[in-house]
Amino acid sequence: MKKLLLATSLVAMSSTAMAANTSVLLDTAVTDTLTVTAKYVTPIAVALDTSTIDFGDVWTDSLIDAEAVVATVTGEIGETFTYSVVTDGTLAQLSGDITGTTVGFVTSDTTQALNFEVDLDTSAATTAGSINEIITVQVVYDAIADTVIDGA
Amino acid sequence: MNKVLFTLLFFSSFVWAEEGDFYINGNAVKAISLTLGVSNIDFGDVYSDTEVDSEMVDFSVNAENGYDYTVEISDDDNTGIVQVSRTASTGYTANSITYIQTANGVDQAHEFYVDLDTANMNGDLSATITVQVAYNDIHE
């Protein structure tokens, strides 16, 4: 009889101790994701085939030939750019491709050539001394896509 | 005969009494949940050394009050371009971020910031950031 009672108690204790958390959800990590994207574009660049134009000695109303300059613009296919060619003085005369907008790298070519000419207004060159002007070619993309955030 | 009958009755009543003494102990813990406020960040057109503004990503975690949970923010970009930080201005890292928080039983707001280290960029970027939350300890 005692053995039977003891065995019954042991079975009862054992079944109590076996209770356990079998939940899968609580022990499982919860994750969520977001994507980060960006489009790499080639930085726009411009190169001139001429660094210096020396018209030599001139005097008022000298007849000189205009000099041709080629500016090669390199950029991303599909993008467009705006350009300008300006001088910081008053005697240099610019003609040709000296201003433009939405010029596109629309074909498979990643370069665009800008052709302009530099002349000198010798009628206004009335003062003795050197004529020194700097001509600047500026190119800039028309539109660079900004950041866009999508909510969940 | 009387002795045998008495013994059987005693044993029967003893067994019946034991069946009433079981106790169930447990602590109901809600399942941890995570809600992300951003699904996609498109930084648009970038090139090497582009200055892009960092973008904030907010998310909330709902877990049982008083329980600790671990937050891990990681990404699958192995080029080091995607950078994350818990503060907007400093502390950006290309590695994962891990920290522990104690839940308050309601939606708990978290945030981190995403930036790009464009110095090494030479191609399009497509990466996935994963936020993971899990209880530190569930008692069994």
| Residue B5 in domain | no
Between B12 and A111, the higher pLDDT residue: A111
Contacts of A16 in chain B (CB under 8 A): 22
- CA atoms in the 13 A half-sphere facing the CB of A26: 16
Q: Are strands A30-40 and B38-46 parallel, antiparallel or unpaired?
A: parallel
Tokens 């600047």 -> residue:
A136
Residues of A in contact with B126 (CB under 8 A): 35-37
State residue B16's pLDDT score. 52
Candidates A32, A40, A41; nearest CB to B131? A32
Classify residue A11: in a domain, yes or no.
Answer: no
Q: What is the pLDDT of residues A73-126, one digit of tens each?
A: 999 888 889 999 999 999 999 999 999 988 888 776 788 899 999 999 988 887
Hey, is the C-beta of A26 within 8 angstroms of any chain B C-beta? yes
Q: What are phi and psi of A14, to 5 degrees?
A: -65, -45
Show the domain range for A88: 45-141
pLDDT of B24-81, one tens digit each?
777 778 889 999 999 999 999 988 888 889 999 999 999 999 999 999 999 999 899 9
Provide the domain count of chain A. Answer: 1
Residues of chain B with Cβ-Cβ distance to A28 below 8 Å are 134
Residue A25 lies in a domain: no
Spatial separation of the C-alpha atoms in residues B136 and B26, rounded to whole Å: 18
Determine whether the interchain pair A148/B42 forms a contact, defined as Cβ–Cβ distance below 8 Å: yes
Q: Does A12 touch chain B (CB under 8 A)?
A: yes
> Which chain A residues in 101-130 lie under 8 Å from chain B, judged by CB atoms?
none
B118: DSSP letter: G
Res. A17: pLDDT tops 90: no
Question: What's the domain count of chain B?
Answer: 1
Output the six-digit token pair for B121: 């960029």
Q: Is A12's pLDDT higher than 50?
A: no
Q: Count of CB contacts below 8 A, A vs B?
A: 150
- Token readout for B82 is 């995607």
With 50 as the cut, is the pLDDT of residue A14 above it? Answer: no
Nearest to B46 among A8, A9, A38 (CB): A38
Residue B13 lies in a domain: no
Kindly indicate the confidence band of residue A150, based on its pLDDT and cuts at 50, 70 and 90.
Answer: confident
Stretch among A10-14, A33-37, A60-64, A97-101 having the lowest mean pLDDT? A10-14
Residue A93 lies in a domain: yes
The answer to whether residue B6 is domain-embedded is no
Structure tokens at A36: 């980060």
Record: contact A37-B41, CB cut-off 8 A: yes
Q: Which of A11-20, B82-91, B119-128 is the most confident on average?
A: B82-91
Does the residue B127 lie in any domain? yes
| CATH number, residue B131 | 2.60.40.1090
- CATH number, domain with residue A77: 2.60.40.1090
Sort out which chain A residues have CB atoms less than 8 A from B47's CB and list them.
Answer: 40-43
d(CA A143, CA A44): 12
3-state SS, residue B129: strand
Structural domain harbouring B58: 30-135
For residue B19, tell me if it sits in a domain. Answer: no
Determine, yes or no, domain membership for A24.
no
Residue B46 falls inside a structural domain: yes
Instruction: State residue B51's pLDDT score.
Output: 84
pTM greater than the 0.80 cutoff: no
The answer to the question of residue A55 being in a domain is yes
Confidence of residue A24 (pLDDT cuts 50, 70, 90): very low
Phi, psi of A10 (to 5 degrees): -65, -40
Interface contact A35-B57, CB threshold 8 A: no
